[in-house]
Amino acid sequence: MSLSLEIEGQDGAARCGTVRTPRGSFRTPCFMPVGTRGTVRAISTADLEGLGAEVVLANAYHLMLRPGADVVASLGGLHRFMAWEGHVLTDSGGYQVFSLRPKVDDDGVTFRSTYDGSVHRLTPEGAVDVQERLGADIQMALDVCPPLPAPAQALRLAVERTLAWAARARRAHRREGQALFGIVQGGVDQALRIESSRRTVELGFAGYAVGGLSVGESKPELLDALAATVGELPTDRPRYLMGVGDPVGLLDAVALGVDLFDCVLPTRLARHGTVLTGGGRLALGNAAFVRDDGPLDADCGCAVCARWSRAYLRHLLVVGETAAGRLLTLHNLAWTLGLLERARRAVAEGRLGALRREVADGWGP
């Protein structure tokens, strides 16, 4: 299945638009909150609806282990299981599997479950099958994600295996109404990135993801590798940068022509008491906020900022109330989703550079 990306505005390489799917549509640039196990930690899908989220990411690795793809399928698939009418993208779990130091061969990977230590085998065809049973709107091909820095031969092997696995996933994918994305690898080697992009595009996917970045490389290396990759991807298909979610990094990637993003950063920071604001990160546990009656961010229009003070939210945090994690998660996601909404408007109005400078004033270059 192909996805239709209707470009509605451009500012240099940046673009804003709408992706049409059998389920409906979603706007780009788009940030996807991470619901690894079928939920975004500390909040519900009803909360996500209230925040205006349009796409949620779930992880096939975790869901195939608990509760199991067959269980989810028997209960009507992820959308019904989660009580979520928006779009769902499932990651194949390749990143999680490779973080476990699995046994890798040309056919697939063998790894132990983080839940009970049981041994599992995952192949490109198996990853497709799991995600078809989960019933996501978009699924990702299984890829090889090497850590950085990595020797040239490791990067080359990752690219070759990822391409071979992508071709196998393409042949195995059968579910109607579900899009399959290919993933580009290559580390920070720009020539290898270009080669991987071109060969992945030749296989013909509904969309394309940039994997293997934000795993230890410098920011200039990330942006150079990203630019080399995006320059080879079709303009009429969605482009997805995996795992990047810092505010300036999001805008830098939008400027290069990226459409989709996911990252655990907003929710993970929230659970540890760090708040996203226009002035940068705010460590709410700091004693300076004991009597602060102001909102988390005076320029934020979210329900949390409209109702509760920094002092009260800090109190919840320091006494260990679970409400703190929930409310800070709601704010951080609202702030991030709001940033992408501002990016959409800025692209349409030709002022993305000005927005980037404004955000960098608070967050640094």
DSSP string, 199-220: HHHHH--SEEEE-S-SSS--HH
Count Cα atoms within 13 angstroms, Cβ side, for 124. Answer: 23
pLDDT at 289: 98
Domain residue ranges in the chain = 4-263, 264-359
Interatomic CA distance for residues 357 and 365, integer angstroms: 8
- pLDDT of res. 4: 84
What's the confidence (pLDDT) of residue 170?
Answer: 98
Per-residue pLDDT of the chain (365 residues; tens, 9 = 90+): 878 899 999 999 999 999 999 999 999 999 999 999 999 999 999 999 999 999 999 999 999 999 999 999 999 999 999 999 999 999 997 777 777 788 999 999 998 998 999 999 999 999 999 999 999 999 999 999 888 899 999 999 999 999 999 999 999 999 999 999 999 999 999 999 999 999 999 999 999 999 999 998 999 999 999 999 999 999 999 999 999 999 999 999 999 999 999 999 999 999 999 999 999 999 999 999 999 999 999 999 999 999 999 999 999 999 999 999 999 999 999 999 999 999 999 999 999 999 999 999 999 98
pTM reported for the whole predicted model: 0.97
Q: Active-site positions?
A: 91, 262
* Structural fold of domain 4-263: TIM Barrel (3.20.20)
Q: Which of 158, 128, 2, 154 is nearest to 64 (CA)?
A: 128
Residue-level pLDDT at 98: 76
Q: Please, are residues 48 and 34 in contact by the beta-carbon 8 Å criterion? A: no
Residues with Cβ within 8 Å of 360's Cβ and at least 6 positions away in sequence, in order, are: 248
